[in-house]
């Protein structure tokens, strides 16, 4: 048992490199400061499915963390605590635990009262959720219910408001640049357009930053519906200037052509109301192939079309996604030791800090088109980088 109390840690939403280093950082510091640390398994699902009875087998829902456990995991990608997109305030009846189904009978249920009971049963004094705006929005709900919460931002899209950086973003950008450059050999060999679909539901940072770094000639992002004919014309120009006669465009998964909707893989939505995105790269590639002849003296340009998908979120973290999680974890403990909760750890203008966790629901963090995106040329703007943050683009004020 601990002298100071118990800290709970969980990871929610999609996996990214850097989650295990963050869990390690929180755990190592917490244990050395005299806390007991519990890892909640499968995100918010662990606090829904836990059985609050002495002697119950809750090994699938939680585990006590030690330095040995987190040291081994901290060098790897993904999350050893596992994750889910469970939303306890909007839980479908079909996934309500059997022991609770008589109490929660609606098609969609708010099981927060039992989540609070389970937090109390575990004796959690502070809860550290690591996730994106969906996971953290429920953390805000628990904060409003009186739970002492310190949030850690994570998402490849880098779209959590209140921070310039989220765990997973650097590795995503690094992999996108590496894989795009690797695919250039095929595009150049066949004199084709290279169309690459990358992550980015509402924010275009994961397409814009690699393009700024020279990975692509053009990029299309969720913040700006684009004309496919205009993109075709620009790519034909790019291809004509290139010695190997090819051109590259990065397509955010949330991007859409003018007068068209976002592209989804199916009709089903998760508990946060999000349908799975995917397929816009295929649509863009097909249209480019169809209309390219209009701008290429009647000759159609063939396409190399690739969705990077999980290749940019799997495997080990890069250097930045090893260092930032360490700092975020220690920032979380700094707040806990000061008995401060309701905060989100952050990086702002290159300085580690924290902000009120209610920033999560205050606004969306998206690309400022006026500052960072040339809508006529479909590429980044960076006239001056003086006093800009490390990754240049942020919508924070």
Which region among 38-47, 167-176, 265-274 has the lowest average model confidence (pLDDT)? 265-274
Percent of the chain with pLDDT over 70: 95
The arithmetic mean of pLDDT across residues 346-362, rounded, is: 92
Measured CA to CA, the distance from residue 376 to residue 396 in angstroms comes to 24
Q: Considering only CA atoms, which of 258, 256, 223 is closest in space to residue 366? A: 223
Enter the pTM of the model. Answer: 0.93
Measured CA to CA, the distance from residue 117 to residue 103 in angstroms comes to 14
With cut-offs at 50, 70 and 90, classify the pLDDT of residue 235.
Answer: very high
Average pLDDT, the chain: 93
| Annotated domain spans of the chain | 5-167+318-361, 171-309+369-380
The answer to whether residue 388 scores a pLDDT higher than 70 is yes
Measured CA to CA, the distance from residue 89 to residue 106 in angstroms comes to 12
Fold of 5-167+318-361: Rossmann fold (3.40.50)
pLDDT tens readout for residues 274-308: 666 668 999 999 999 999 999 999 999 999 999 99
Domains 5-167+318-361 and 171-309+369-380 share a fold: yes
The arithmetic mean of pLDDT across residues 168-195, rounded, is: 97
Contact (CB, 8 A) for 349 and 389: yes
* Catalytic positions, written as ranges: 157
pLDDT tens readout for residues 57-114: 999 999 999 999 999 998 899 999 999 999 999 999 999 999 999 999 999 999 999 9
The answer to whether residue 397 scores a pLDDT higher than 70 is no
The arithmetic mean of pLDDT across residues 305-324, rounded, is: 94
Class of domain 171-309+369-380 as given by CATH:
alpha beta
Q: Considering only CA atoms, which of 118, 140, 117, 113 is closest in space to residue 129? A: 140
Beta bridge partner(s), residue 35? 5
């Amino acid at each position: 048992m601990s002298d100071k109390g118990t800290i709970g840690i969980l990871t929610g939403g999609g996996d990214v490199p850097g989650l295990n280093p963050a869990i390690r950082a929180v755990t190592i510091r917490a244990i050395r400061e005299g806390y007991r640390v519990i890892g909640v398994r499968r995100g918010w699902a662990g606090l829904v499915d836990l059985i609050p009875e002495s002697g119950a087998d809750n090994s699938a829902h939680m585990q006590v963390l030690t330095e040995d456990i987190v040291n081994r995991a901290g060098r790897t990608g993904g999350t050893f605590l596992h994750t889910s997109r469970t939303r306890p305030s909007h839980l479908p009846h079909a996934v309500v635990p059997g022991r609770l189904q008589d109490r929660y009978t609606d098609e969609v249920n708010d099981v927060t009262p039992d989540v609070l009971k389970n937090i109390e049963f575990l004796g959690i004094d502070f809860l550290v959720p690591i996730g994106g705006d969906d996971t953290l929005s429920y953390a805000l709900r628990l904060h409003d219910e009186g739970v002492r919460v310190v949030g850690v931002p994570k998402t490849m899209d880098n779209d959590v408001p209140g921070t310039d950086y989220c765990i997973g973003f650097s590795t995503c950008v690094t992999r996108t640049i590496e894989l795009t450059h690797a695919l250039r050999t095929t595009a150049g060999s066949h004199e084709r357009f290279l169309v690459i679909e990358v992550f980015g539901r509402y924010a275009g940072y994961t397409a814009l930053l690699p393009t700024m770094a020279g990975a692509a000639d053009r990029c299309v992002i969720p913040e700006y519906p684009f004309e496919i004919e205009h993109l075709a014309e620009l790519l034909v120009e790019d291809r004509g200037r290139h010695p190997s006669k090819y051109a590259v465009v990065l397509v955010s998964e949330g991007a859409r052509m003018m007068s068209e909707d976002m592209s989804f893989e199916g009709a089903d939505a998760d508990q946060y109301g999000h349908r799975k995105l995917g397929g816009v790269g295929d649509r863009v590639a097909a249209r480019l192939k169809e209309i390219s002849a209009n701008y290429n003296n009647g000759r159609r340009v063939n396409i190399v079309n690739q969705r990077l998908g999980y290749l940019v979120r799997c495997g080990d973290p890069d250097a930045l996604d090893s260092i930032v999680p360490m700092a975020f974890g220690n920032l979380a403990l700094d707040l806990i030791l000061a008995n401060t909760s309701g905060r989100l750890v952050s990086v702002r203008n290159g300085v580690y800090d924290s902000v009120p966790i209610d920033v999560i629901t205050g606004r969306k963090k998206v690309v400022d088109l006026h500052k960072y995106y040339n809508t006529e040329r479909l590429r980044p703007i960076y006239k001056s980088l003086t006093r800009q943050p490390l990754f240049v683009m942020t919508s924070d004020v």
